[in-house]
Structure 1
Amino acid sequence: MSKAQEAELSITDQESKGGIPHQSAITARPLSSSRARELKWWIQITIFIVFVLAGQSAAMILGRLYFAKGGKSIWMATLLQIVGFPALLPMYYCFRKKTTRNDVVLPSNPPSAAKLVSVYVSLGILVAVECVLYSIGLLYLPVSTYSLICASQLAFNGVFSFYLNGQKFTPYILNSLVLLTISSTLLVFHTDSSSNSTGGSGGKYGVGFVCTVAASALFSLVLSLTQLAFQRVIKPQTFKAVLDMIIYQSLVASCVTVVGLLASGQWRTIRTEMAEFELGSVSYLMTVIWIALTWQIYAIGAVGLIAEVSSLFSNAVSTFGLPIIPVLAVIFFHDNMDGIKVVAMVLAMWGFVSYGYHHYLADYKTKKKTQSAIDDAPKASGV
């Protein structure tokens, strides 16, 4: 191994431990190579963000279309959210054999099969319940209202991260939690004529609201538990490990949902549902196929952001995309965008900006502290 390679490997090893490399080691790394890697990283992050925003928006709109045009099976709608995980298999096999310098870690005892199975099964069951609740919410609520309520997931994520992942509360995070809570609470007292398009009465609107809030809380809990599993059980948090988590978790969730579909008897109505779909049988097939695929596009983006940045950042990007959906709902489903929804949307976006600004300040302080330590390194060594 050449000296340049040894220097670069040493830098990577120190960075993975959270340490600060010596100034001489930093200069050993070619500047152009470092900039190229940084540019590649930003391109990857941009692609993942686009996947999250586009996949989430398309999946929710198509999910609403499924119910609006004749789809009635809650279990079928639930299955479509998770059954597309085989689309991740090519990416899994691509990254399984790929070893990068960032994967160089200290030897550790791998988790036992029993621990891994317990993690995948428990999280998979929670995901199945979460998706059922989301499907009920989407059935009984206008998609614009549904998406704004889903913004509460960031507030729940802050609470669960505090208790499970050691997340510290700052004034900006508290401000975000308050704004997102108010945004969702406003919609408790809100009904409009677009509720008629969902076939929902006041009682069904309430059921949809409660189920969507519960699903948002459960989604955030799953996210925090997933991060906790990586911290305590699955080490290190490589992209392959994240894909393992998503694939096995989705496999368990799909099995649970199939059992629910069979036990409920709703599988018997699928053929009738297809024949009576307002847009035709072919459109029915295309709708369910694209619902499954767009949810996996979202999953690829979310997984990528978790692997490259953090689970909190992935959730923040997902929440940022939610206010896009009410605008699309007005265009495609003619949902009413009245004053309460506008205020709720503004508060949700304000809450996201506050949450994002907290992370910006934290990242800025970290970089400033690291740069200060690097500048002081030559003085400390007597150079």
Structure 2
Amino acid sequence: MEDAGGIELQITAADDQEPNSSNDVSSVNNKLHLPKLIHYRWWLRVTCYMLFLLSGQSAATLLGRLYFDKGGNSKWMATFVQSAGFPILLPLLFFFTTSTISTTAINLISSSFANTPKGPQLSTLTFLYIGFGVLLTGDNLMYSYGLLYLPVSTYSLLCATQLAFNALFSFFLNSQKLSPFVLNSLVLLTASASLLAVNADSEKPAGISRGKYVIGFLCTVGASATYSLYLSLVQLSFEKVIKKETFSVVLSMQIYPSFVATCGCVVGLFASGEWRSLENEMKEYKEGKVSYLMNLIWTAITWQISSLGMLGLIFEVSSLFSNVISTLALPLVPILAVIFFHDKMNGLKVMAMLLAIWGFLSYIYQHYLDDLAKSKASLTSENELTGVQLETG
């Protein structure tokens, strides 16, 4: 986006230096082609973020189920790995931060001679990172309780309510319009997750009391609402507080809150006393010690990949769109389970997949209509500006 702005600035400067008709026509043609370049770059970034989110979330969910199924029982450890993989993003943050030092220096110099708005203060960013980190700690812990105490069917159904919560928060906090295609997408994706829930065993897991079942139920609903609030607040922070359009900003919003959440999990792990049972848990893990460690390591990595994709979609589109893509992964998990765990595929799972794809395309089509409307409005304004320039020239 910065490169595109530089190109447009150069085109404008060329127009000012040579005000003749041929240069005006060339300038207009360059400007008309420029939105297409930006458009393709935007879709490329969005596609990459979608792949990160879908692959990361699907893999992390499967690994999380494998952890509990093979003998893992620590809720704080399951919460810890959801944020502890942030160090793998530090090289990316260093690379993208150093690559934009010159641009930042130029912006600082220009802002000293003009009334250019500066970035947020360090204290403001620190407050945001700590607040989001604490919010993620509580949210991840509630999800861990839900995954431990609920069957997969009920857990998936309750996770689908995240869409409804996010639509509500996006409407009030982010001025997100709920068009018919968006509402259709929400209904279809929720129905897809509901079919998966109906298809699975809805009874309480063996050894889980009714009290723990209720705790898992309430924690999962609370986690869905909390994460939806988190997504909307992150989008609001990008728009109102940070006001920057760089990849390093997205990385920072992932790394620093994850660091705070990881510290919170370490405190919880020691305060609860669960750290004493980790050694025995590793010894008694059904697949062995190496598999136990590899499960935790790869769960941490895949959650970071998923979170990076989620934040990237919030940055490029909206929190509601990122949530829609996240819900698309719910029917993908059973498909992957068929491949890796040899689960059976039946008609309900196929129907759930088709509904999810339909809902996904519905939301994509709505965004295409919005993008088309913006392009027409931009083209109209360019034509009006060109007509004025030719008349005055």
Give TM-score scaled by structure 2 length: 0.79
**CA deviation map 1:65-88 (0-9, x unaligned):** 000000000100000000111111
The corresponding residue for 2:20 is: none
8 Å contact from structure 1 (residues 7, 25) kept in 2: no
Contact between 1:323 and 1:349, CA under 8 Å: does it hold in 2? no
Question: Which of 217, 221, 224 is matched with 1:213 structurally?
Answer: 221
More displaced, 339-348 or 51-60?
Answer: 339-348
Identify the residue that residue 155 of structure 2 maps to in structure 1: 146
Q: Tell me the residue number matched to 1:46.
A: 47
Match of 1:229 in 2: 237
The structural deviation recorded for 1:37 is 6.6
1:354-369 equivalence runs, <5 A: 354-369=362-377
Correspondence 1:318 to 2:326: yes
Q: Secondary structure at the match of 1:162?
A: helix
Alignment of 1:167-246 (within 5 A): 167-179=176-188, 192=201, 196=205, 200=208, 204-246=212-254
Aligned to 1:17: none
| In structure 1, C-alpha distance between the alignment counterparts of 2:344 and 2:323, rounded to whole Å | 27
- Would you say the 8 A contact 1:124–1:252 is kept in 2? yes
1:119 is matched with 128
- Give, in angstroms, the shift of residue 194 of structure 1: 8.1
Structure 2 residues without counterparts, runs of 5 or longer: 14-23
Give 1:1-383 correspondences, 5 Å limit.
8-9=8-9, 25-28=27-30, 41-99=42-100, 107-143=116-152, 146-179=155-188, 192=201, 196=205, 200=208, 204-332=212-340, 349-382=357-390
Distance in 2 of aligned mates of 1:360 and 1:30: 19
When residues 171 and 48 of structure 1 are mapped into structure 2, their CA distance, relative to the original with a 3 A threshold, is closer
The Cα shift of 1:94 comes to: 0.7
Amino acid at match of 1:27: N
Amino acid at match of 1:266: E
Q: In the aligned structure 1, how far is the partner of 2:227 from the partner of 2:28?
A: 41
Deviation at 1:232, TM superposition (A): 2.4
The corresponding residue for 2:19 is none
- How much has 1:358 moved relative to structure 2? 2.4
The change in CA–CA distance for 1:94 and 1:34 in structure 2 (over 3 A counts) is farther
- Mean Cα deviation higher: 159-168 or 354-363: 354-363
Higher deviation after alignment, 57-66 or 239-248: 239-248
Q: Structure 1's 109 and 374: CA in aligned 2 closer, same or farther, altered over 3 A?
A: closer
- Report sequence identity in percent: 51
CA distance in 2 between partners of 1:343 and 1:57 (Å): 19
Deviates more, 1:363-372 or 1:341-350: 341-350
Return the offset for 1:27.
3.1
| Cα 1:39/1:346, change in 2 over 3 Å | closer
Which is greater in Rg?
Answer: 2
Worse-superposed segment, 212-221 or 143-152: 143-152
Give 1:320 deviation, angstroms: 1.9
Tell me the alpha carbon deviations over residues 136-175 of structure 1, each in whole angstroms, 9 at most, x when there is no partner: 2222334465345423323222110111111122223333
Does the residue aligned with 1:293 lie in a helix, a strand or coil?
A: helix
What is the one-letter code of the residue matched to 1:59?
A
CA contact (8 A) 2:189 2:327 kept: no
Q: What amino acid maps onto 1:281 in structure 2? A: K
Give how far 1:295 is off: 1.0
- The verdict on how the C-alpha distance between 1:133 and 1:338 changes in structure 2, with shifts beyond 3 A counting, is farther
Q: For residues 168-216 of structure 1, give each alpha carbon's deviation from its aligned partner in whole angstroms, at most 9, with x where no partner exists.
A: 22223333444555666778888617864x7546665554343223212
Q: 1:12 and 1:258, CA in 2 relative to 1: closer, same or farther beyond 3 A?
A: farther
Q: Distance in 2 between matches of 1:348 and 1:281?
A: 37
1:193 to 1:337, Cα distance in 2 relative to 1, 3 A: farther
The DSSP-based 3-state class of the residue aligned with 2:81 is helix
Q: Structure 1 residue 314: deviation in Å?
A: 2.8
SS in 2 for 1:82: coil
How many angstroms does 1:380 deviate by? 4.0
Q: CA deviation at 1:281?
A: 0.5
Quote how far apart the aligned CAs of 1:365 are. 1.6
Mapped partners of 2:169, 2:253: distance in 1? 20
What is the rounded CA distance, in whole Å, between the counterparts of 1:380 and 1:161 in structure 2? 40
